[in-house]
A = this chain, B = another copy of it.
């Protein structure tokens, strides 16, 4: 039951399924999201699929090319830098506001870090990817501010797309250590240090990207040729085109 994640109400089912796919790295930037295909997969009419896609478009997660199709956003280098910039501003500011951690805060952080360690040990990369992004959301949750959580959730989804597009290799251990340092500072109550570490951490992750070279300079051309992106997207023709139940 933990596969079809949360399984919220009918209304946001499709939206959440797509976001979940992105968050766990199953759906890549540039993936085509055909209305009819999704309608078939979810056994609904195009109307509801469109509504979900519209909402995702408002969240800057998908994009429609008029009369051509819906595609998961392929963030440009500029957009990538801006997303990281926004996260630096938001998260550092958030840290500074976290002077009083809730009583169970340390335990929550420790539990999450344990999960990260377990994922590293087991080599479950999809889960690790998800956890790495989720750490920051965990912290936002500690603030008790759901507005902050929602904003950060969207930024995390976009970050995931950026990583998939520009990250040459994933320094899981380095990221994990960054998380540990931030958590330690927070638990120690040193919010200024936590803020500084957050900026540093995001800088590191951003530095791990290769933004100077476009990962797929022929992306536009490929689109005109209707080739998915660089590799197959598996949404196009596979028997189970939308593996929402994959992963943990």
Residues of A within 8 A of B (CB): 50-51, 54-60, 79, 82-83, 85-86, 88-94, 96-97, 143, 145-148, 150-151, 155, 195
Contact status B55-A147, CB under 8 Å: no
Contact status A82-B51, CB under 8 Å: no
Contact status A97-B90, CB under 8 Å: no
Contact status A82-B146, CB under 8 Å: yes
Q: How far is the CA of A150 from the CA of B68 in the complex (A)?
A: 26
Copies of this chain, whole number: 2
Q: How far is the CA of A92 from the CA of B151 in the complex (A)?
A: 16
Known A51-B51, A79-B147; further 19 A-B contacts with Cβ < 8 A: A50-B51, A51-B54, A54-B54, A58-B58, A60-B150, A85-B97, A85-B145, A85-B147, A86-B145, A88-B93, A88-B97, A89-B93, A89-B94, A89-B97, A89-B148, A90-B93, A90-B151, A92-B93, A93-B96
Nearest 10 pairs between A and B by C-beta?
Answer: A93-B93, A89-B93, A55-B58, A58-B58, A82-B147, A89-B94, A86-B147, A82-B145, A92-B93, A86-B148
Q: How far is the CA of A33 from the CA of B90 in the complex (A)?
A: 32
Which residues from chain B contact A51 at a C-beta distance below 8 Å? 50-51, 54
Which residues from chain B contact A54 at a C-beta distance below 8 Å? 51, 54-55, 58
Taking the nearest CB of chain B, how far is it from the CB of A203, in angstroms? 12
**8 Å CB contact of A90 from B50, B56, B89:** B89
Q: How far is the CA of A218 from the CA of B96 in the complex (A)?
A: 37
